[in-house]
Copies of this chain bind each other. A is one copy, B any other.
Amino acid sequence: MGTTQLETVPEPKYWHLKTVLSQALDSDFSVGEVLPNERDLAARFGVARATLRQALEQLELEGRLQRRRGVGTTVAPPRVDVSTAQYAWPGTSGDTWQPVDCTSAVAPVAVGRMLGTDPRDELHTVRRIRTTHGQPVAAELLYVPAASVPQLPAAEAPSGPARARIVLRELQRLGLEGQDRAVELGSARADDARELDRLPGAPVLVVTTRYFAAGRTAAVSVATYRADTCRLTFGDSGDLEITHPAPA
């Protein structure tokens, strides 16, 4: 028989450490509890601080821990389920987004391609944020070509949230013919990071939505969700809005 060499592979220290810590979190800690600081933990496990941090980073990525500079490391609550299932224009009554601002700017190339607009054209760019349980979970930029909101009063428009709401209202005059979503991993840009109360580069789930109306792509939304705290739910087909079939 073959000398299979099965698992002679030395497991990296940080990987083993992560497993040990993960079990400790399950058994010896409760949500919100603070862990010993990194220097103490590293000493306790007999590893360098950088190695310990590699384990902590993974646990934070998995939503098990929460680390805040100047404060400490705490046990994170379970991830929040946030729904992305709504089939409607943004700003329709019932959604949980809050308009923050609205500016004019050229779109990123990827967005410009989806909209089929001239890359040099300025678009209405609506900033919205989404919170649940008082915590910010997502920051969004909604790109609306001028052609999609032809009746928008041009010059005398106000700024800030008021202007954002006007653009959303105008958008809703169009008949929504379909929409389209994609999810991918990204890292937070500086402005998104600030809205989400995270450091730049923090891992985020980027949800790109295309809204179709009048036979073309009428708007594109790029929403970045905190990957550490969020689980995105898609109330698929079948009986929509299955809340909780769990027996009490």
Contact = CB atoms under 8 A, between A and B. Distances in A.
A39 to B, nearest CB: 19
Chief secondary structure at chain A's binding surface: mixed
B232 A182 contact: yes
Give how many copies assemble into the complex.
2
A240 B242 contact: no
A175 B120 CA distance: 52
A201 B62 CA distance: 10
B183 A242 contact: no
A106 to B, nearest CB: 16
Interface string A101-118: 000000000000110100
A2 interface: no
Interface residues of A, number: 49
B185 A227 contact: yes
Nearest to A18: B201
Nearest to A208: B231
A179 B238 contact: yes
Contacts of A238: 87, 176-180, 212
Contacts of A247: 116
Contacts of A116: 246-247
B234 A216 contact: no
A234 B183 contact: yes
A246 B115 CA distance: 9
A181 interface: yes
B227 A179 contact: no
Contact of A185 (B81, B85, B185): B185
Contacts of A200: 15
Contact of A203 (B81, B203, B240): B203
Contacts of A114: 246
11 contacts: A15-B200, A87-B236, A178-B237, A178-B239, A180-B238, A181-B236, A183-B205, A183-B232, A184-B231, A203-B203, A212-B242
